[in-house]
Each structure stands twice: as C-alpha cells, then as structure tokens.
Amino acid sequence: MSRLRFDISQKTFAKKAKIPQSVIARMESRKHSISFWTLNLVAPAFGIQVQLV
C-alpha cells in the first residue's frame, strides 16, 4: 500500500502518522529499513493494524 494511492503528500501523511516527514522520505527511498516501532506508527494512518506473532 502506498501513500500515493491515497493521493496525499509526505507532509500530510507524516502529520497523520505523527512522525517527521523525513522518516517518510527515508522509508520511501528504501535507504533505511523500517523498525517495528515505526511500522506500528505508520500502519494506522493507512487503516492497518500491525501485530507481532
């Protein structure tokens, strides 16, 4: 799933996910791996719940 699918900017998505826009940029560039903590913050902005099994 992509923020572009929702047609929102990095800035808007970052506000919704309550994380800095720079984190969104790093995730999208795939230069850094995403921590479980970050994924857990970002997923609800897409309406997704993350569970560790």
Using the predicted structure, report yes or no on whether residue 46 has a pLDDT greater than 70.
yes
Place of tokens 């699918």: 5
The pair of structure tokens assigned to 52 is 């560790």
Give the pLDDT band of residue 11 (cuts 50, 70, 90): very high
Are 21 and 27 contacting, i.e. CB atoms less than 8 angstroms apart?
no
The arithmetic mean of pLDDT across residues 27-52, rounded, is 83
Residue 53 confidence (pLDDT):
83
20 touches 14 (CB < 8 A): yes
pTM, two decimals, is 0.65
Q: What is the rounded CA–CA span in Å between residue 20 and residue 11?
A: 8
pLDDT of residue 21: 92
